[in-house]
Copies of this chain bind each other. A is one copy, B any other.
Amino acid sequence: VAAPTAAPASRRTVDLPALVERALDGEQRAVARLITLVEDASPRLREVMAALAPHTGRARIIGLTGSPGVGKSTSVAALVTAFRAQGRRVGVLAVDPSSPFSGGALLGDRVRMQEHATDPGVFIRSMASRGHLGGLSWATPQALRILDAAGAEVILVETVGVGQAEVEVASLADTTIVLVAPGMGDAIQAAKAGILEVADVFIVNKADRDGADNAVRDLRNMLSYGDGPHGAWRPPIVRTVASRQEGVGDVLAAVEAHHEWLESTGELTRRRTDRAAAEIEAIALAQVRARFGDLHGAVALPALAGRVVAGEIDPYSAADELVASVTEA
């Protein structure tokens, strides 16, 4: 993935410790440069993450997903407005798992977001994830870590896409908001894609339109199947007209209530630990895979593959040799 926001020459000569210091001070350009390193899968990320580690863990991560047309970007902009009114610093990360392109494309046409573009308390970034090994599981947590260390108190992660991507965004967030709109049959789609299970808060946006009551009822009917044990979280359904900022306060209240539930039950720590475990594992597997590629001599992967094609060994024995060559080095 090319990085449209920084010329290669300037990146090559970058003073990384200074850049990290500036990012920790919340300087937007420095934050942007560091996220570009994530998109580039830069080997220097290791240094960056080591320097940022002590400054992470404070941001609340809110995932936001839904089908195209439900008003995701309008809702994100409305939430940013509401969080800013509370005086909180906000990060917005829009992830498009299906696009190999990054930079401004995803957010470029978002007029409402541009209200926030000049606010030093808001950091907005879109990011591609497809090119990376492991996709969302690898790149997005790194970007979140950068925003967190840079002082974002709330980070909104928005994904476009269907099914898998929406379930993945949930695994990144403390609180996952699923948006639906009247008349789109979203509730049924969401049920099919396994999204109902991952939602912590539902928003029925465009609630001034016909069919809003039906959408709420559909969701409620489907959620009743999922009644959990005593003390379980029951995802509230909030109506909004995000374009007029209506109901957005209720969303913030629902998110706040969910956060309190997460903290009081220990679920917050559990979710974050699971997330970190997945992130560590993804990095570790990428490292092992890189070692596979670095091997030379008789046990190199192409040689093993040739022997499998010739029927000399089976793929499991070949895999044993490959793993042994890495672990016994």
Contact = CB atoms under 8 A, between A and B. Distances in A.
Interface of A: 45-46, 49-50, 52-57, 141-142, 145, 269, 272-277, 279-281, 283-285, 287-289, 292, 301-302, 304-306, 308-320, 322-323, 326-329
A141 B318 CA distance: 14
B283 A57 contact: no
A320 B50 CA distance: 12
Give the secondary structure class of A's interface.
helix
Contact of A280 (B283, B288, B315): B315
B287 A323 contact: yes
Contacts of A53: 308, 311-314
Nearest to A58: B311
Contacts of A316: 45-46, 49-50, 283
A50 B314 CA distance: 5
Nearest to A271: B309
Contact of A311 (B57, B283, B310): B57
Contacts of A305: 273-277, 280
Given A55-B311, A272-B309, A305-B274, A280 B327 contact: no
Contacts of A328: 327
Given A141-B315, A285-B285, A57 B301 contact: no
Contacts of A49: 314-316
B57 A279 contact: no
A138 to B, nearest CB: 10
Contacts of A320: 287
